[in-house]
């Protein structure tokens, strides 16, 4: 939108002692000289912010490195059997699809992808999309028609992803993006083990539910195992022809929605399964909205509240 102002931050790293160091002394190994030259080159970074939508259920947000070989493709000199020497478990990702079009245009070899949270690989990201920042490291083409980039991505990736509102932002947006606590809305297809009464469901719509969630087992290997407290608000529901339900819920940031549905044997309490007293499974999940971050409750001081 406000593309007239130049928020570009061509960030030059603070000079390190190596950068200030004098040229290598004569007789220093060539490798060392080369290394010094590399260190002396300041890094230019550009930050492109936008929002992405994801329309498929087989696409991770970022590169899905093989957990067996950690992306190295080989184990003890032999091709990794888990990924067949590919190094990754999926062909591409939201990150790679965007980079595929952005990097050549910026004449850039290296980038980082920052998302405002992430959805599971099998969860679609709909509505107005999820904020992200593509950090371009040492782009040789610093100015670019971002509208053209957007159109190229949306044309070539039609049906898989779309991006909107691409714009250059300052470096501090990365931290803001990472720290923002966005409530989210979801559309959930729920399969109940037994028929559910609409009256019972209706009674759950009134208020926010306070939910305690222990870290789900599926992510316990990479997240601290602890209890977190989150609110979940059931907004509406539909009874589908085959006995499944479609629920629309709004959740606090960081809620594990699939586990809110199943209850995961009591690791989440209360859960939809517990409230209905019927085992329920999350069949399909879509993020339908990423809402503006909630106002901080602590140290808001003054203000209208």
Residues of this chain that bind Zn ion (CB under 5 A): 66, 68-69, 80, 82-83
Q: How far is the CB of 62 from Zn ion (least distance, A)?
A: 17
Considering 120, 122, 242, 286, which one is annotated as catalytic? Answer: 120
Q: How far is the CB of 111 from Zn ion (least distance, A)?
A: 23
Q: Please indicate whether residue 92 is annotated as part of the active site.
A: no
Q: How far is the CB of 134 from Zn ion (least distance, A)?
A: 26
Nearer to Zn ion, 37 or 74 (CB): 74
Nearer to Zn ion, 76 or 296 (CB): 76
Q: How far is the CB of 78 from Zn ion (least distance, A)?
A: 11
Q: How far is the CB of 82 from Zn ion (least distance, A)?
A: 4
Nearer to Zn ion, 9 or 68 (CB): 68
3-state secondary structure the chain: CCCCCCCCCCCCCCCCHHHHCCCCCCCCCHHHHHHHHHHHCCCCEEEEEEEEEECCCCCCCCCCECCCCCCCCEECCEECCCCCCCCECCCCCHHHHHHHHHHHHHCCCEEEEEECCCCCCCCEEEEEEEEEEEEEECCCCCCCCHHHHHHHHHHHCCCCEEEEEEEEECCHHHHHHHHCCCCEEEEEEEEECCCCCHHHHHHCCCCCEEEEEECCHHHCCCCCCCEEEEEEEEEEEEECCCCCEEEEEEECCCCCHHHHHHCHHHCEECCHHHHHCCCEEEEEEEEEEECCCCCCCCCCCCCCC
Nearer to Zn ion, 70 or 155 (CB): 70
Nearer to Zn ion, 27 or 77 (CB): 77
Which residues are marked as active site? 120
């Amino acid at each position: 939108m406000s593309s007239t102002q130049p928020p570009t931050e061509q960030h030059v790293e603070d000079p390190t002692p190596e950068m200030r160091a004098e040229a290598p002394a004569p007789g220093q190994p060539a490798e060392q000289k080369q290394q010094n030259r590399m260190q002396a080159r300041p890094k230019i970074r550009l930050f492109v912010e936008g929002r992405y939508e994801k329309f498929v259920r087989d696409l991770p947000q970022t590169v899905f490195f093989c957990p067996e070989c950690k992306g190295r493709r080989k184990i003890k000199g032999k091709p990794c059997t888990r990924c067949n020497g590919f190094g990754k478990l999926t062909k591409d990702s939201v990150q790679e699809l965007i980079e595929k079009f952005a990097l050549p245009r910026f004449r850039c070899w290296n980038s980082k992808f920052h998302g405002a949270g992430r959805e599971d690989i099998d969860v679609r990201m709909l509505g107005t999309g999820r904020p992200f920042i593509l950090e371009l490291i040492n782009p040789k083409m610093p100015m670019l028609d971002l509208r053209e980039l957007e159109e190229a991505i949306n044309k070539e990736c039609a049906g898989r992803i779309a991006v909107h509102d691409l714009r250059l932002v300052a470096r501090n947006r990365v931290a803001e993006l990472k720290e923002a606590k966005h409530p989210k809305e979801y559309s959930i297809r729920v399969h109940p083990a037994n028929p559910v009464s609409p009256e019972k469901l209706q009674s759950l719509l009134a208020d926010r539910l306070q939910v305690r969630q222990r870290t789900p087992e599926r992510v316990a290997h990479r997240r601290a195992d602890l209890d977190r407290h989150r609110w979940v608000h059931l907004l509406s529901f539909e009874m589908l022809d085959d006995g499944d339900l479609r629920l629309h819920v709004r959740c606090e940031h960081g809620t594990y929605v699939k586990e809110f549905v199943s209850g995961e044997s009591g690791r989440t309490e209360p859960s939809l399964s517990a409230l209905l007293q019927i085992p329920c499974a999350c069949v399909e999940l879509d993020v339908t909205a990423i809402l503006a971050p909630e106002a901080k409750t602590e140290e808001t001081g003054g203000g209208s509240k």
